[in-house]
Amino acid sequence: MQPVKIADGVYDVGVKDWNIRDFHGYSTDLGTTYNAFLIVDEKITLVDTVKKEFADQLLSNIAAVVDPKKIDYVISNHTEMDHSGSLARVMHRIGEDKPLFCSKMGAKNLSSHFTQKWNYRPVENGEVLSLGKRSATFLETRMLHWPDSMFTYLNEDKILFSSDAFGQHFAGQERFDDETGDAIMGHAKKYFANILMLYGAKILKLIEQVKEMGLEFNMICPDHGIFWRQDPGKIIEAYARWSQQTPQKKAVVIFDTMWHSTQQMAESIVDGLEQAGVPARPFHLRSFHRSEIMTEVLDAGAIIVGSPTLNNGLFPTVADFLTYMKGLKPKNKIGAAFGSYGWSGESVRLVTEQLEAMKFDSIEPGLKIQYVPDPESIETCVAFGKRIGKALIEKL
Ligand code: FEO
């Protein structure tokens, strides 16, 4: 990839990871990008780096604009290794003594990741750094996505380098929102649901803070995916909406199955939900990746989880999904459990306990059916789905 000029004197020197399909447990079917930025001013400044294995490509992209040795400042918005993994190579090439600006937590965390004693310059929230004709303001954004995270805002260009926030795991020829159109919103939603959902309250507070500061944006440039230049407000509005987790008239039925009995239950519960007027669909955990399902969980009002009983416990994929979902802290959901069993039948109780631990509203005791559902049991599942659908409509 060649560097891309995104504004006068501002270049995207990042890289595309076309082939990654699993980003620490998140399915990245179209790969991703690690964006890094070069600002050519009186002080030539690099904002963020890329994953370690792409260091050569980053340095080559920088060299296509300026000699890397001429870089005066490095800004690290975030320690996670997809953005700082090639820092050691970069610092070695440009000069180990060059100032490295980061948050206070960034200095602490980078020092834990790297043994080199770099010239750390921890910055305060709101601190301004002159680059020459331009200046950069640093905004502390703790937990978006790590305690060290911060944004860098170029005041004169009104460009926000937002690190992980507003990103998408998407690698394509397109670099801007006006080139992808609305299709990019699905990728942005998946990214939010799987990485940032649990920080919704912090995101809402940050959006308020930015409004109070009166910041305007010509462009929002995250470290993953495309840049928002046509309508930066659109992704901010989407983040505000997603952070609130307002439940929609929508249900997801998530399950695994051994001999299709729990599957029959799932599909019958979906029928019942739809009969109640709630759009629903079943998600077989071995047909859909957990990160795809979480994207659907984000705005669903009802989450119904089914597991057969295996060796007195949960089916492993169901346990995996519940662990994953719990960590992302979905809110404002109706929850219910179901499953078929042979003789002991613990799974429905175990799912129910997990949903209760996530503070989902429980309106129905779990539904257990032994061995294979007969026509009467199928009707029981349909009625179960209908009651959940009715309760959701009443709640909205
Ligand atoms: Fe893209 Fe939290 O790193």
**Domain CATH number, residue 40:** 3.60.15.10
Q: Are residues 334 and 228 in the same domain?
A: no
Residues of the chain above pLDDT 90, percent: 97
Tell me: pLDDT of 2 over 90: no
Ligand 1: which atom is nearest the Cα of residue 223?
1
Evaluate: CB of 164 within 6 angstroms of ligand 1.
yes
Calculate how far, in angstroms, residue 80's C-alpha sits from the geometric centre of ligand 1.
Answer: 5
Write down the catalytic residue from 145, 169, 187, 289: 145
Assigned token pair, 12: 């995207």
Write down the catalytic residue from 12, 41, 48, 82: 82
Domain boundary, last residue among 220, 243, 266: 243
Ligand 1: which atom is nearest the Cα of residue 163?
1
Tell me: pLDDT of 191 over 90: yes
Would you say residue 349 lies in a domain? yes
Which of 23, 341, 351 lies closest to 190 in space, CA to CA?
23
Ligand 1: which atom is nearest the Cα of residue 145?
2
Mean pLDDT (the chain) is 97
Q: Among this protein's residues, is 83 annotated catalytic?
A: no
Q: Quick one: pLDDT at residue 29?
A: 96
Residues of the chain above pLDDT 70, percent: 100
Calculate how far, in angstroms, residue 97's C-alpha sits from the geometric centre of ligand 1.
Answer: 26
Q: Are residues 201 and 82 in the same domain?
A: yes
Contact call for residues 126 and 110 (beta carbons, < 8 A): no
Q: Are residues 211 and 329 in the same domain?
A: no
Q: Quick one: pLDDT at residue 235?
A: 97
Contact call for residues 382 and 359 (beta carbons, < 8 A): no
Domain boundary, last residue among 183, 215, 243: 243
Would you say residue 394 lies in a domain? no
Domain boundary, last residue among 243, 268, 290: 243
Q: What digits encode the pLDDT tens for the residues 28-44?
A: 999 999 999 999 999 99
Write down the catalytic residue from 12, 26, 78, 341: 78
Calculate how far, in angstroms, residue 206's C-alpha sits from the geometric centre of ligand 1.
Answer: 18
**Amino acid, single-letter form, for residue 65:** V
Counting the structural domains of the chain, the total is 2
Q: Among this protein's residues, is 145 annotated catalytic?
A: yes
Task: Find the mean pLDDT for residues 365-383.
Answer: 98
Q: Are residues 212 and 295 in the same domain?
A: no
Nearest CA to ligand 1 atom 3: 80
For residue 87, what are the domain limits?
A: 4-243
Q: Are residues 45 and 157 in the same domain?
A: yes
Q: Are residues 92 and 222 in the same domain?
A: yes
Tell me: pLDDT of 1 over 80: no
Q: Are residues 222 and 300 in the same domain?
A: no
Would you say residue 239 lies in a domain? yes
Q: What backbone phi and psi angles, to 5 degrees, belong to 72? A: -95, -40
Q: What digits encode the pLDDT tens for the residues 127-168?
A: 999 999 999 999 999 989 899 999 999 999 999 999 999 999
Q: What is the CATH number of the domain that holds 279?
A: 3.40.50.360
Q: What share of the chain is helix, strand, coil (3-state, %, to 5)?
A: 40, 25, 35
Using CB atoms within 10 Å of the CB of residue 123, give its burial: 0 to 12 exposed, 13 to 18 middle, 19+ buried.
buried
Q: Are residues 180 and 48 in the same domain?
A: yes
Q: Are residues 256 and 236 in the same domain?
A: no
Calculate how far, in angstroms, residue 165's C-alpha sits from the geometric centre of ligand 1.
Answer: 9
Would you say residue 186 lies in a domain? yes
Write down the catalytic residue from 12, 140, 164, 296: 164
Q: Are residues 16 and 45 in the same domain?
A: yes
Q: What digits encode the pLDDT tens for the residues 294-334?
A: 999 999 999 999 999 999 999 999 999 999 999 999 999 99
Q: Among this protein's residues, is 284 annotated catalytic?
A: no
Residue keyed to tokens 């979905």? 330
Tell me: pLDDT of 220 over 90: yes
Would you say residue 396 lies in a domain? no
Q: Quick one: pLDDT at residue 133?
A: 96
Q: Are residues 80 and 197 in the same domain?
A: yes
Would you say residue 395 lies in a domain? no
Task: Find the mean pLDDT for residues 188-213.
Answer: 95
Cα separation of 253 and 335, whole Å? 10
Q: Are residues 239 and 267 in the same domain?
A: no
